[in-house]
Structure 1
Amino acid sequence: MAKANKAYVLFGAPGSGKGTQAEQLVKHYGFVHVATGDLFRENLKQNTPLGQLAKGYMEKGALVPDDVTARMLKERLQRGDEAPAYLLDGFPRTLPQAQMLEEILRELGIRLAAVIFIQTSDDLIVRRLGGRLICKACQTPYHKTNRPPKKEGICDRCGGELYQRADDNPDTVRARLATFHSQTAPLIEYYKKAGLLHPVNGEISAEQTLQEISEILKKY
């Protein structure tokens, strides 16, 4: 298999089902999933220079600057994985980040093939996240109605205790969504003008959403 020379961006609001779709796309297509959260954890765990830099901002309670995140992403893509494509998750979230990504991909000779946007109403997301549970030990996600554990309050995978994150309460979720919309509105317009934006329905079943994404991927 040749080294990946194209990338897809997968984005959507918190609770849109992005994580579920990323997992399935990796499984079905062999994409390399590059998630911003994973990059931070890897760099912090390995105490890399970029990890140390990010940690300094985090310890002060400050946001990690875009250029630090972009450098983490570039370093990761420079490894040159053998795969059909990269699936980028969590970057870009803003217009300046999109412009940084464009420069990184150009330097590395990677083509941005499509931007897949999972559209979901705010009301549905509030309902979804209100039922979300996370394992304290292994971070496996569950849902009270959509994906309940076999035993209430206990993780199927490791037996750890399940809990609800404080930021999954309705008021906090709506505040997070307001931030998401204000940041991503210019981003959506940017990719729409570039002819790269492909909206999919995030309010149907996960299987149906995956089918919509698969139809888009067939074009590439």
Structure 2
Amino acid sequence: MALVGPPAAGKSTAMRAFFAAQPGLAHFAVRVFFGRQAAAGTPLGLQAKAFAEQARWLPDEFVGQGLATFLEEELPAASGVVLEGFPRNADQAQLLDRVLAGFGLELGRFVLLDVPDDVATARVGQRQVCQRCDTFVENGVLVPDASCPRCGGAVVLRRDDAPEVFRERLWHHRESVRELLAHYAPRDLVSRVDGTGSPEAVAEQVREAMVFHVS
């Protein structure tokens, strides 16, 4: 299952509640996966760090290599796989099809988290991110000198969350969603979930959208 939504839609927050209620699933998020690879010093991680140092987006084919590595490691013990925030556009959707086909798999459900722009904008103004481990910290109010509850690192407003940048990200998301719906709707894979509720309520809607069974 792929879960996609606008920036600051609460995907990661809802996923924490979802996985707490659905153990046994493997979870792939591009930023998290490559962050762990970088921390472990793997070849993928070192290459991802090099892209970051050059202020470059990770190329799609490189992300595909990461996803294939993830599936090789996680599939044997997983009852299912949830892709958070991936694919982002039609090119990545086609890449995902190819990677899954290599494992004899196909996507079971494309879940779109619907959140109005004004709600996403309000949410992004209430979060900071840890400079060390990249964990989002929901403070409600940006507190000077706050620290990450996971690792104790300094937390700051992410550059991508600056108002003018965030408005552009929302616009790109809307354009990308049109491509993704055109790719998945003919295959009857699309489910829409109201992302304005509590993390637990969103997690329950996501669970109901699943088409594979969790033992």
Q: In structure 2, what is the Cα distance between the partners aligned to 1:158 and 1:56?
A: 24
Two-structure CA RMSD over aligned residues (Å): 2.7
TM-score norm. by structure 2 comes to: 0.84
1:88 alignment partner, one of 83, 89, 93: 83
Q: In structure 2, what is the Cα distance between the partners aligned to 1:64 and 1:149?
A: 29
Aligned 8 A contact 1:9 1:116 in 2: yes
Q: Which moved more, 1:131-140 or 1:12-21?
A: 131-140
Higher relative contact order, chain-length normalized (CA < 8 Å, sep 6+): 2
Matches within 5 A, 1:30-49: 30=23, 31-49=25-43
Aligned residues: 211
**CA deviations over 1:138-187 (Å, ceiling 9, x no partner):** 54433343xx7999935555555443223323222111111222223201
- Report the secondary structure of 2:76's partner residue: coil
Q: In structure 2, what is the Cα distance between the partners aligned to 1:210 and 1:49?
A: 34
1:179 alignment partner, one of 166, 172, 179: 172
- Report the secondary structure of 1:25's partner residue: helix
1:126 alignment partner, one of 121, 126, 129: 121
Aligned 8 A contact 2:111 2:191 in 1: yes
Aligned 8 A contact 1:44 1:51 in 2: yes
Offset of 1:53 from its aligned partner? 3.8
Q: In structure 2, what is the Cα distance between the partners aligned to 1:116 and 1:64?
A: 23
Q: In structure 1, what is the Cα distance between the partners aligned to 2:105 and 2:136?
A: 32
1:188 alignment partner, one of 154, 161, 181: 181
Matches within 5 A, 1:40-59: 40-59=34-53
Q: Match of 1:67? A: 61
Q: Match of 2:208? A: 215
Q: Which moved more, 1:210-219 or 1:69-78?
A: 210-219
Matches within 5 A, 1:17-32: 17-30=10-23, 31-32=25-26
- Identity among equivalent positions (%) equals 29
Do structure 1's residue 15 and structure 2's residue 29 form an aligned pair? no
- Uncovered stretches (5+) of structure 1, i.e. residues with no partner: 1-7
Q: In structure 2, what is the Cα distance between the partners aligned to 1:39 and 1:162?
A: 20
Which residue identity lines up with residue 114 of structure 2 in the other structure?
A: Q
Q: In structure 2, what is the Cα distance between the partners aligned to 1:65 and 1:218?
A: 30
Offset of 1:189 from its aligned partner? 2.1
Q: In structure 1, what is the Cα distance between the partners aligned to 2:100 and 2:200?
A: 30
- Report the secondary structure of 1:182's partner residue: helix
Q: In structure 1, what is the Cα distance between the partners aligned to 2:33 and 2:27?
A: 11
Do structure 1's residue 98 and structure 2's residue 93 form an aligned pair? yes
TM-score norm. by structure 1 comes to: 0.82
Which residue identity lines up with residue 187 of structure 1 in the other structure?
A: L
Offset of 1:14 from its aligned partner? 0.9
Offset of 1:103 from its aligned partner? 1.4
- Uncovered stretches (5+) of structure 2, i.e. residues with no partner: none
